[in-house]
Amino acid sequence: MSSSVEHLVSREYKYGFVTDIEQETAAVGLSEDTVRFISAKKEEPEWLLEWRLKAYRRWLEMTEPHWPNVNYPPIDYQGSTYYAAPKNQKPLGSLDEVDPKLLETYEKLGIPLSEQKMLAGVAVDAIFDSVSVGTTFKATLAKAGVIFCSFGEAVKEHPDLVRQYLGSVVPANDNFFAALNSAVFSDGSFVFIPKGVRCPMELSTYFRINAANSGQFERTLIIAEEGASVSYLEGCTAPKRDENQLHAAVVELVALDGASIKYSTVQNWYAGDENGVGGIYNFVTKRGKAMRDAKISWTQVETGSSITWKYPSVILQGDNAVGEFYSVAVANGRQQADTGTKMIHLGRNTRSTIISKGISAGEGQNSYRGQVKIMPGAEGARNYTQCDSMLIGNRCGAHTFPYIDVRNASSDVEHEASTSKIGEDQIFYCKQRGLNTENAISVIVNGFCKEVFRELPMEFAVEAQKLLGVSLEGSVG
């Protein structure tokens, strides 16, 4: 389009630095021994080791899915490390005992871990490679009866809860990547909101991949008991490296009767360079189960990763349950995204809303893949899907794959889709009113994404808008 924008190309990925810290890693490769090694490192009970091994054995029999609309060379599962942790890490230590290098890292990422400097009203769990570095505001939360800690810690301190709910929404053999995660998962966050409690602050987890040649397999479990509510946000970054790194996470949400869980993601893993070298393979399984009158809402802003394969879903099990999915996915440069959701309606009068905004730029390929399934018992179920794509430039692509499966005639399913091209005329109009090209694109794209951004917690909506601006810089050329 304009030569004046060409120079904006390739603004540096500002989270691409590496923390130089002594690592303790598992030997390269994957076997039952690896699984035992990880479990032993984490001092896990026998039942959990058995659970992992069972998942591992199932994984061996499964094949990697190739139905997503993405292309990548075969992954060598034996060529990577499945556990990496900073040395000298006292897993249950207080924040004062955390290696200063790690605190510095999070500071640099804009996530200060000392409670004085933190955003008021947001508690953070910081995960560095395979382990949690520390969790803030634990005491404040404990007063309300809320448990917010690393997954490893939950296994030790609250084994009954973990055992009751682990795998209850995403079974260990659910799919290839979920099975792999179940076998080798490292750390992640655990949240428990007891009956009737409204969590007094935003909870958030910040995931950082640092180690080279290692995968990250975190596991997050959020349980909201009857009438409880919580808002949770995750953020992700990784250093710039030339190899691709695998990130296969599993997130399970359980919303019991009348509970509400709002889960927001701002995903900014390293996306690879302009030639498609390096970047994170983000293969993630996220699913929630909503019981009677419960509500689960997923909001995601996916700007990073070289490949994204991700379908945060809701099983609307109880009557009147509500499921929502709000998504902004960006594929710029050589990025490929295949993302969407599944809404499975089981209960009567269940309702789901899907708003998907796909932005393709550069040579990016963006696919929306969504399934709406209305089961025979879902009397009066309703779904509304709106799926909009925006193309910036001529070399990118947008694709939609809606699957609608209705088995109850009293239900109502509505699907709307649109594709637009960010127009030279829109940009020119903005410029004529005094905006430069960069601001013009940012204003236009943020307008396009408005319905999703307004679902994000206030503190993060501004961040997300900025991030979107940066990840699209130089996309018009």
Residue 322 beta carbon to other proteins: minimum distance, rounded to whole angstroms: 24
| Residue 431 found at the interface with other proteins (CB under 8 A) | yes
Question: Which of 2, 94, 168, 213 touches other proteins (CB under 8 A)?
Answer: 2
* CA separation for the pair 91, 107 (Å, rounded): 20
Question: Which of 72, 446, 459, 469 touches other proteins (CB under 8 A)?
Answer: 446
From its phi and psi, is residue 418 left (phi > 0), alpha (psi between -120 and 50) or beta?
Answer: beta
| Residue 434 found at the interface with other proteins (CB under 8 A) | yes
Give the contact letters, 388-427, x = binds to other proteins (CB under 8 A), - = no: -----------------------------------xxxx-
Question: Which of 213, 414, 421, 429 touches other proteins (CB under 8 A)?
Answer: 429
Question: Which of 106, 283, 298, 448 touches other proteins (CB under 8 A)?
Answer: 448
Question: Which of 72, 176, 401, 428 touches other proteins (CB under 8 A)?
Answer: 428
| Residue 37 found at the interface with other proteins (CB under 8 A) | no
Q: Strands 313-316, 336-345: parallel, antiparallel or unpaired by DSSP?
A: parallel
Options 149-157, 320-328, 407-415, 434-442: segment touching other proteins (CB under 8 A):
434-442
* CA separation for the pair 10, 15 (Å, rounded): 14
- Identity of the residue, 4 or 213, whose beta carbon is nearer to other proteins in the bound complex: 4
* CA separation for the pair 124, 136 (Å, rounded): 5
* CA separation for the pair 349, 145 (Å, rounded): 32
Q: How far is CA 23 from CA 88, 115, 187, 446, in A?
A: 9, 26, 16, 40
- For 190, what's the count of Cα atoms within 13 Å in the CB-facing half-sphere? 22
Residue 429 beta carbon to other proteins: minimum distance, rounded to whole angstroms: 4
| Residue 433 found at the interface with other proteins (CB under 8 A) | yes
Q: 3-class DSSP state for residue 279?
A: strand
Options 135-143, 155-163, 199-207, 447-455: segment touching other proteins (CB under 8 A):
447-455
Question: Which of 87, 90, 407, 450 touches other proteins (CB under 8 A)?
Answer: 450
* CA separation for the pair 381, 321 (Å, rounded): 10
| Residue 436 found at the interface with other proteins (CB under 8 A) | yes
Residue 355 beta carbon to other proteins: minimum distance, rounded to whole angstroms: 12
| Residue 94 found at the interface with other proteins (CB under 8 A) | no
Size of the residue set binding other proteins (CB under 8 A): 26
Q: What angle do CA 464, 469, 473 make, to 5 degrees?
A: 145
| Residue 212 found at the interface with other proteins (CB under 8 A) | no
* CA separation for the pair 306, 66 (Å, rounded): 16
Residue 100 beta carbon to other proteins: minimum distance, rounded to whole angstroms: 39
| 247 in Cβ contact with 82 (< 8 Å) | no
| Residue 106 found at the interface with other proteins (CB under 8 A) | no
| Residue 1 found at the interface with other proteins (CB under 8 A) | yes
DSSP, residue by residue, 321-378: -EEEEEEEEEE-TT-EEEEEEEEEE-STT-EEEEEEEEEEETT-EEEEEEEEEE-TT-
* CA separation for the pair 349, 331 (Å, rounded): 36
Question: Which of 430, 456, 461, 472 touches other proteins (CB under 8 A)?
Answer: 430
| 325 in Cβ contact with 314 (< 8 Å) | yes
| Residue 6 found at the interface with other proteins (CB under 8 A) | no
- Identity of the residue, 4 or 164, whose beta carbon is nearer to other proteins in the bound complex: 4
* CA separation for the pair 303, 72 (Å, rounded): 19
Residue 12 beta carbon to other proteins: minimum distance, rounded to whole angstroms: 24
What contacts 46, CB < 8 A, 6 or more positions away?
Answer: none
| Residue 432 found at the interface with other proteins (CB under 8 A) | yes
Residue 8 beta carbon to other proteins: minimum distance, rounded to whole angstroms: 13
Q: Which residues bind other proteins (CB under 8 A)?
A: 1-2, 4, 423-426, 428-437, 439, 443-444, 446-451
